[in-house]
Structure 1
Amino acid sequence: MNALWVLQLFLLLTFLLIRCNSVLGEVQIKCIERERRVLLKIKDELTDDYGHLSSWGNEDDKRECCKWRGIRCAKQSGHVNLINLQVTNCSDINYAPLRGKINHSLIQLKHLKVLDLKCNDFSDQLDISEFIGFLTASLSYLDLSLSHFGGSFPSQIGNLSTLKYLDLSCNNFLNVGDIESFSRLSSLEHLDLSGNNLSAATDSLYVVNKLPSLKTLILSSCGLEDVHLLSSLSYFNSSSSSFSSSLENLNLHANHFSASVIYKWLFKIGKNLMHLNLSANPLQGSIPDEFGDVMFSLEHLDLDFSELRDGIPKSMGNLCELHTLRMDYNNLSGKFEDFIANMSGCTQTSLQVLSLVGNQLSGTFSDNINIFSSLKELYVAHNCLNGTLFKTSSAPISILNILDLSKNSLEGSLPNLSLSFPSLTKLYLVGNQFTGNPTNSFSHLFNLEALIIGNNSFKGTLTEACLSKLSRLKQLYLSSNSHQLYLRISSYWIPPFQLDWLHLESCNLGPKFPNWFKTQRNFSFFDISNNEISDTIPTWFWNLSPKVTFLDLSHNQFSGKLPDLSTLLAGCRKIDVGFNNLEGLLPLLPSNLTYLNLSKNRFSGSLQNICKIVALKFLDLSDNMLSGEIPNCQMKCQGLSILNLANNNLSGKIPSSIGTLSKLELLDLRDNSLSGELPSSLERCKLLELIDLGNNKFSGEIPYWIGESLSHLNFLILRSNEFYGEIPLQMCQLSKIKILDLSINNISGIIPECFINFSSMHQKGNLTTAHRISYFSFSHPSGSSFGNLYYDGQVLVLTEGRKYEYGRSRELLRIIDLSGNKLTGNIPSQLTNLSALVALNLSRNSLNGTIPPKIGMLKELLSLDLSRNHLSGNIPSSMADFTFLNRLDLSYNYFSGKIPSSTQLQSFNASQFIGNTLLCGLPLPQKCPGDKSLDQSQPTNNGGAGTVQEDEDEFEKWFYIGMGIGFAVGFWVICSALVLKRSWRHAYFLLMINIKDRVYVTIALQAERLRRRFQS
């Protein structure tokens, strides 16, 4: 009993002693008043818009500065030894840094060991050398990265002899030509100079060779070239010392090293390297055969975007410590099976991550992938793999978590993946040619978190039974399976999972809104577009998840009104509800929205609710019933690339503030009631590629600055307005123009000869290389990229009296339309050099002279309209050379002579030539002089007219009698010969078959050629 009492007393005394020491320690850690005043001086020099340093200078605890945000003090002495002013994350969408300068009084903090100023804005600190000069020599950790420091590179850095960690990356230093002072940092273990231009510092790698303790060296995006390596190699040749025994991590990403030098240098210094990043260097060749034998300590190797070719050497299989190999987006070729075979060796038990995305590997997905017993992640997307997926009989890789085979040419049905990869958590098969019902392939992958199998040819019906065992599922992507994959879920089903990504485009979900979504509370990406849902959007849907950043309900038949989305979807970046039947006023919208598409609905009222959105890059409100003026406040969105307000009831002028939209690439205001002159501020939008102002009431002269300032214009459409004056010669500077439509205005003067400068009209369009305006990029949360979203735009073209809208296929068009104006003078012969021209419309003007003789050089022409002018002379014989012309109108001019003979010209209706009284020849009924005619033998006296007519009647009677007898005799002679002589019969039918085949092939080829030409 006494022993127990003694033990309890001992424990109590021990506790009291520890508590007293803790209290005494707290008492001792008091901020020194002198250092407190220094911190306040530092704060006074900073602009703190968001109150990050609000705890500094609290009057209630004057000596407690050691508890201020970002401040730490030594326990014994109380001296400030740490200042961390990294108050924000640089990648945060609400990035809010400190601004200003660092006060010189910082030099009084003699015991400072850690100084972290990362992710702030010290651009006012013009001379960082002065700042570095008054830092204490006891500093061991200094991070000035991403802080906008400028001035000369700090040569005084060498005075900080105790530094172990130094990060000066991503600043705005000038004159980085000498870093010799770094060689004095003998204790330095971590050095990051990324994002600084070291191209002038040719001894940069030579200097870091001298750092004996260096373990991590990061020199990404420094402008380094082979010359920097050569100076370092010369150092090795002249000195026995090196740092190869200490360097473990080396990052040379995005420099300009070539294979011929970089490997030689690495083999000198890299025998103990564990992490090596050579990505985004132009290595342009194969990896040396001895690589794996020399770099045997490597654990992580990154060779992405390095222009590597061929395969890999077998020595790569000797990297026994290698757990991560990344070789994305190179030119690796050969069979995937051979690549795996070359990697076989001791890497079989070490390799955990293999990424080969974006190469040219072919062959099948090899069954022998299972030799890598430790493999956790495998990425082979964007290659040329074909055939079916592996056999289920192969040994499973029980540890594999991620499999990405997207964007290949794999086909066939999926096997039961749970037999090969029982631990699979993420499956990416997007963009292949898989068929069949995938249900049995994944329904037993109980650990599955991401099922990404869209853009295939799967078909069948998925029910809740297929998904009921996937309790960990977070991302589901079944979109675009040729409308043959149906998702049929009971309205009463409660899923066992909570999704954050849902991508079900074209999955036949309609006609009712799926009720099982009601259980999901974590959506960040939500896409149920093009699902034939004809319903109202239920109220509960808008309260599902405040985390939604991507919402797409487009191409359905939703009706009703939208609620106030500014609070319900406060963090949303993309909202697309286009192509529905929604109505009412525009709702209030999230202020950080970057993409908004409400097109092809029935919204009405003004645009005022757009005013509070400041981050927009894409805005499409076309094809609604919006009215009023375009508000000035909209121009706050200075990052706007796409502005489409076409086909509404807008009126008034274009605001002059539109000139602030310096990133604008597409401006479409057609089919409104806008008026006034074009604001001169628009010339500041120098990136514009498409301007469509057709069918409005704009007036004034066509501005000359369109040609001078908007050099990127591809499409300029000003049709159906009230522009007047001459076509400015500066328009000829639009070398990239593909469609120029100035029709139906009051433009006068002549057609400029300098239209020959339209370089793009000398080149045929190509859909495969069509430029599309990128407005929004996104990646899957796992890191697997789904690429960019693009806006193809719509170009409205009026031809044959009908309107046609062209999206991406507008790239095939080369059009000049100047019809319906008051143009005079000749048609410039230079127009015939625009060899890729598809349509030329100069109708309803007052042009005179002749058609240029070489007009037949326009071989690609599909439509030519020169009607209702004062043109004269013969129709050029070169027009007989037209091959693809399907619309021609030369009516109501003063053409004369014979219409040239050709398959094309004679196929048109006579109405296309009407109104030219002196024109003759087919398809007109007027015969030309010299054409063969029976009227030439007709007597001039009336008395002989009856005799001649009787002779002609008699001749006609005997002509037809003789023709009938001759046909009958000839028919039976030939038929009798065919019946009686077998060899003649076979030869005749063989001849008929051959003729039929030739005619069919000829017609089919011509039809296919025309179909491709006119397809849009």
Structure 2
Amino acid sequence: PYKRSKLRGRINPSLLELKYLSSLDLSNNNFSSIQIPKFFGLLESLTYLNLSRARFQGAIPHNLGNLSNLQYLDLGGNDLKSKSLQWVALKLPSLLELHLTDCGLEDDPSSISVNSSKSLVVLDLSWNSLSSVPRWILSLHGLVSIDLGFNSLKGPIPYYFGNFSFLEVLDLSGNHLNSSVPNSLYSLKHLRYLDLSINEIEQDISEILQSLSSCCLGSLESLNMKDNQLSGHLTDQLGQFKNLAYLSLAQNKISGPIPLSIGELSSLKLFDVSENQLSGTFPPSLGQLSNLETLRFGHNLLEGVVLETHFSNLTRLTTLKASQNMLRFESNSSWIPPFQCQTIELGQWHLGPKFPHWLKFQKNLSILDISNAGISDSVPTWFLNLSPQFKYVNLSYNQLAGGISYLNVRDSVDLSSNRFTGPLPRVFPTLQFLILSNNLFSGSLFELVCHSSSRERMEVLFIDKNLLTGEIPDCWNQLERLTFLNLGNNNLTGKIPPSLGRTGLDWLNLRNNSMFGELPSTLQNLTNLSILDLSENHFSGNIPTWIGDKLSTLMILSLRSNNFDGQIPHKICDLQYLQNLDLSRNNILGAIPKCFSNLSAMAHRSYDNNYSYDWGGTTTLIYLSALLVLKGREDEYSSILGLVTSMDLSANSLTGEIPKEIGILVELRSLNLSGNLLTGNIPNEIGNMELMESLDLSMNQLNGEIPPSLSNLNFLNHFNVSYNNLTGQIPTSTQLQSFENFSYMGNYLCGPPLTKNCSTKGLPTDVANNGSSSEGSKVNWLYVSIVLGFIMGFWGVVAPLFFIRSWRHAYYRKLDNVGRKLYVYWAT
């Protein structure tokens, strides 16, 4: 309805008939692709003109400068891209406020050539593309408010802001300003609001507070310096800013304790020091801040016990975000909090072992995180029966047990890593994120997937590491928004349902189930797929060519431990974003494709690959994970997944030589070609892969020498070429000599780390002598001695039994006696 009510089309000049029109507001409309009408400059009585977010385009008409009575002008949110703006500010003699936010403005090359305007008091140029402060601003001596937030300003904060002696509001947030706060800013005696957040300012916070106390101790109401490079400690001087209502120092490097003087800030409404390095205890004086509405100190190093008295006077508190500390909350079971919060995040606090009963009295609660809180209990009925006020609930990483029949949460639920049992719960119709990983849920997927009323909204569904059984139902057509699906590590059987290919999946994980059959061709419709993990099942048939042809955004492809056969399709080489390829433990034949050199994500460094996802509108991120086999062991990678590149083709029946073109993949960290039928020499070009950490070529039929170029692999910490036909001296390098003998066994190699010395020809000395190995002769004599020992031992016992009748009868009587004893023993 709102969109339909927007005005559009041409603006009629009949507006000029309204000769006494003093206020005109056309904001939030859709006058797409037309310029601001020039006749607006003839509305001489206008004092207020608001054209913001009306989708005007083009230059600002200069005849707006004729509006001599105009006091308020807002052109924000239009694509104006004007080359010069100084006339707007300087030619309107009565103008008090000028708002040009988000207009696509760029640097103004013109110089000031007109008299300054003494009237302008509010200037808003935020959310533009200015890389420097427009020089014409310097003549606006009467400015009270300057907003240059979210531009592209670089370098130190300009000193001349200190010349605006009437300045009360200064917003330079969201730029690239560095160095320290200039001393000139501390001459602004009327400063009430200072926002320098999201910059690169490096300074000790105690110095800033000390300097601000000398200029605006009584006037400062809001200080925002979050997301900078501030360091040092908060001092007791903080308590002197009696009028301070908003203080945000989050996302810095501030250390030490929160000072006790924080309790003296009686006007404080918001206090945010989250994501720093603060230590010590949670000061009881915070409980004295009766005006406090928002308290955020999560992701620090605070420790100790928190009591009910810490919250005694926080009657207006609506937001409490304090996760990721080492605090223990000890409250009486009958405690009723003095506040009514909308958001409570206490993840990693110790709240257990009982489920926090005081939550029952939070009637406005919308967001709750009590993950990893040491709770060993069942979820109480009153919690499950709460009205659908919850948007986000995170109870993960506790020891919660029992069944969950219904989840009354609107947007996001995380119950992972608990001990919940029984069938999967019914969910609220609007639910978007459902995480049930690592529990004991059992039964079928049918009710949740096929009959759930939330199907049209669901975006994330994780039910991995449970006890689900049966087939995956074929009713995914309605889940068009589904982006991430993880059903790995269950007991699911059957084939992949074709309707799964009619979703919008970016990530599909079905690993470690008992599924079988060929891959349905409908999966080629998942053109946004980044991760496909079908490992450890019983899928069969050829690897489809459409994987390389249609799934062009794949970053991780794992078909490990299945029954795939045939050859590796050359279309795989077209996957430009592929970072991890695992086709190991199948029945794949043929040669390694030379075109693997086209896998550019393994050849060129990329910083763009992001495996995280915003979690339900909170500050939490979902890190997508993948199980990779690197360095000879299987590990799960999540937050650093984007840094890992690997190729595993081991335990197949690949033949031919290792293509030298594989050396182009210089970003590869792990290469495993072991357990195949590969022949020929190890390519010298592998030595170009200098970032390689793990290289396994064992159990093939490779011959020749280990190329000297492998000594360039300085990061190598897992290396295995055992059980081939390699000869010669092991190249000398720091890494190659650091591995154990088993990395080289089953070859004809010599030199360190092996004890076998090399001849002058680079061959083992026992091979060099007469062209035969003394070790080989020892092995032959060993066989001879075994055969002789067997013959002598066998006939030494059997011959007397065969030729001497009394020995033979005694032997059989003894066996019969032992047999009867054993029978009696087992019978009783």
TM-score for both structures, normalised by structure 1: 0.66
Equivalent residue number for residue 815 of structure 1: 646
Equivalent residue for 2:282, pick from 431, 438, 445: 438
- For the pair shown, the structure with the greater C-alpha radius of gyration is 1
- Equivalent-residue separation in structure 2 for 1:935 and 1:822 (angstroms): 34
Contact kept? 1:814, 1:837, Cα under 8 Å? yes
Counterpart of 1:411? 256
Which secondary structure state, in structure 1, belongs to the residue aligned with residue 389 of structure 2? coil
Match of 1:583 among 421, 433, 440: 421
1:428 aligns with 2:295: no
State the 1:221 CA deviation.
Answer: 1.8
Instruction: Indicate the residue corresponding to 1:329 in structure 2.
Output: 198
> 1:804 corresponds to which residue?
635
Seen in structure 2, the aligned counterparts of structure 1 residues 594 and 210 have a Cα distance that, compared at 3 Å, is: farther
Answer yes or no: is the 8 Å Cα contact 1:164–1:190 preserved in 2.
Answer: yes
Contact 1:182 1:208 in 2 (8 A): no
> Which of 121, 138, 155 is the aligned partner of 1:248?
121
Distance 1:316 1:911 in 2: 66
1:427-826 equivalences under 5 Å are: 427-438=271-282, 440-468=284-312, 470-482=314-326, 485-544=327-386, 546-565=388-407, 568-569=408-409, 572-603=410-441, 604-606=443-445, 607-609=449-451, 612-626=454-468, 627-629=470-472, 631-633=474-476, 636-638=479-481, 640-648=482-490, 649=492, 651-653=494-496, 655=498, 658=501, 661=504, 664-672=505-513, 673=515, 675-677=517-519, 679=521, 682=524, 685-686=527-528, 688-698=529-539, 702=543, 706-707=547-548, 712-762=553-603, 771-776=610-615, 778=617, 788-798=619-629, 803-826=634-657
Contact kept in structure 2, 1:158 and 1:183, CA below 8 Å: no
Find the aligned partners of 1:479 and 1:221 in 2 and give their Cα distance: 35
Change in 2 beyond 3 A, CA 1:363/1:865: closer
Q: Match of 1:930?
A: 768
SS class of match (2:677): coil
What is the CA distance between 1:434 and its match in structure 2? 4.4
**1:881 CA drift (Å):** 6.5
**Structure 1 residues 720 and 431 mapped into 2: Cα distance closer, same or farther (>3 Å)?**
same
Q: 1:225 to 1:744 in 2, by over 3 A?
A: same
Matched letter for residue 591 of structure 2: I
563 and 355 in structure 1: CA distance in 2 versus 1, 3 angstrom threshold: same
Indicate conservation of the 8 Å contact 2:245/2:267, yes or no. no
Q: Structure 1 residues 490-499 or 897-906, which shifts more? A: 897-906
* Distance (Å, rounded) in 1 between the aligned partners of 2:774 and 2:626: 55
Q: Deviations over 1:499-531 (max 9, x none)?
A: 333222222222322223223322122111112
Residue aligning to 1:47: none
Q: 1:548 to 1:906 in 2, by over 3 A?
A: closer
In the TM superposition, residue 551 of structure 1 has moved relative to its aligned partner by 0.6
Q: d(CA) in 1 for partners of 2:387 and 2:654?
A: 60
Q: What's the counterpart of residue 365 of structure 1?
A: 234
On the 8 A contact 1:183/1:208 being kept in 2, the answer is: no
**CA-to-partner distance for each residue in 1:874-895, whole Å, 9 max, x for gaps?**
4445556766656555455444
Q: Which position in structure 1 is the counterpart of 2:188?
A: 319
Q: How does 1:248-327 map to 2 (within 5 A)?
A: 248-259=121-132, 262=134, 264-268=135-139, 270-293=140-163, 295-327=164-196
- Partner deviation per Cα, 1:451-489 (whole Å, 9 max, x = no partner): 44443333333343544454444444443334xx32222
Q: In structure 1, the residue corresponding to 2:671 is in which secondary structure?
A: strand
Matches of 1:216 and 1:415, distance apart in 2: 40
Over 3 Å counting, the alpha-carbon distance change for 1:637 and 1:794 in structure 2 is same
Asked if the contact 2:89/2:120 (under 8 Å) is kept, the reply is no
Change (3 A) 1:313 1:812: closer
Indicate whether 1:827 and 2:658 are aligned. yes
Distance 1:503 1:319, change over 3 A: same
Rate the CA distance shift 1:315–1:856 in 2: closer, same or farther, 3 A: closer
- In 2, distance between residues paired with 1:809 and 1:202? 45
> CA 1:275–1:636 in 2, change beyond 3 Å: closer, same or farther?
farther
Query: What is the TM-score normalised by the length of structure 2?
Result: 0.80
Q: Equivalent residue for 1:78? A: none
> How many aligned residue pairs are there?
756
Equivalent residue, structure 2, for 1:941:
none
Alignment match, 1:51: none
Instruction: Name the aligned partner's letter for residue 198 of structure 1.
Output: L
Q: CA deviation at 1:539?
A: 0.6
> 1: CA distance between counterparts of 2:665 and 2:605?
10
- The 3 A distance-change label for structure 1 pair 560 and 646 is same
Report the secondary structure of 2:154's partner residue: coil
2:61 and 2:206 map into 1 onto residues whose CA distance is 48
Q: CA deviation at 1:658?
A: 4.1
- CA shift at 1:642, angstroms? 2.9
User: Residue 574 of structure 1: CA displacement?
Assistant: 1.8
* Aligned-partner Cα distance in 2 for 1:897–1:418: 73
Q: Secondary structure, in 3 states, of the residue corresponding to 1:316?
A: helix
Q: Is the 2:260–2:285 contact (alpha carbons within 8 Å) kept by the matching residues of 1?
A: yes
Equivalent AA in structure 1 for residue 274 of structure 2 = V
Matched, 1:167 2:50: yes
Distance 1:764 1:528, change over 3 A: same
What is the aligned-residue RMSD (CA, Å)?
3.9
Distance in 1 (CA, whole Å) between partners of 2:60 and 2:267 is 53
Residues 556, 276 of structure 1: CA spacing in aligned structure 2 closer, same or farther, 3 A cutoff?
A: same
SS in 2 for 1:578: coil
Match of 2:34 among 136, 143, 152: 152
1:219 matches 2:104: no
Q: Is the 8 A contact 1:770 1:808 kept in 2?
A: no
Q: Percent identity?
A: 36
Q: Which amino acid aligns with 2:73?
A: L
- Decide whether the 8 Å contact of 2:476 with 2:502 is kept in 1: no
Report how far residue 552 of structure 1 moved: 0.5
Q: Distance in 2 between matches of 1:207 and 1:425?
A: 37
Q: Which residue of 1 aligns with 2:821?
A: none
CA contact (8 A) 1:352 1:375 kept: yes
After superposing the two structures, state which structure 1 stretch, 890-899 or 715-724, moved more.
890-899
Q: Which aligned pairs between 1:195-214 and structure 2 lie closer than 5 A?
A: 195-199=77-81, 201-202=82-83, 205-206=86-87, 209-214=90-95
> What secondary structure, in the 3-state scheme, does the structure 2 residue paired with 1:550 have?
strand
Q: 1:885 to 1:331 in 2, by over 3 A?
A: closer
Contact persistence 2:174–2:198 (CA under 8 A): yes
Structure 1 or 2: larger helix share?
Answer: 1
Change in CA separation of 1:609 and 1:796 when aligned onto 2, cut-off 3 Å: farther
Secondary structure in structure 2 of the residue aligned to 1:442? helix
Q: How many angstroms apart in 1 are the aligned matches of 2:308 and 2:603? A: 57
Distance (Å, rounded) in 2 between the aligned partners of 1:256 and 1:471: 43
Q: What is the alpha-carbon distance in structure 2 between the residues aligned to residue 316 and residue 436 of structure 1?
A: 33
Q: CA deviation at 1:150?
A: 2.0
Q: Which runs of 5+ in 2 are unaligned?
A: 758-763, 778-828
Deviations 1:221-271 (A, max 9, x none): 2121223x62xx56x44xx5x6x2443322111223343x61x20122x22
User: What is the CA distance between 1:808 and its match in structure 2?
Assistant: 2.3
Deviation of 1:492 after TM superposition, in Å, equals: 2.7
Per-residue deviation at 1:795? 1.4
Residue 873 of structure 1 corresponds to which residue in structure 2? 704
Instruction: Mark the CA change 1:184 to 1:635 in structure 2 (over 3 Å): closer, same or farther.
Output: farther
Which residue type is aligned with residue 278 of structure 1?
Answer: L
Indicate the SS of the match to 1:732: helix
Give the residue type in structure 2 aligned to 1:321. Answer: H
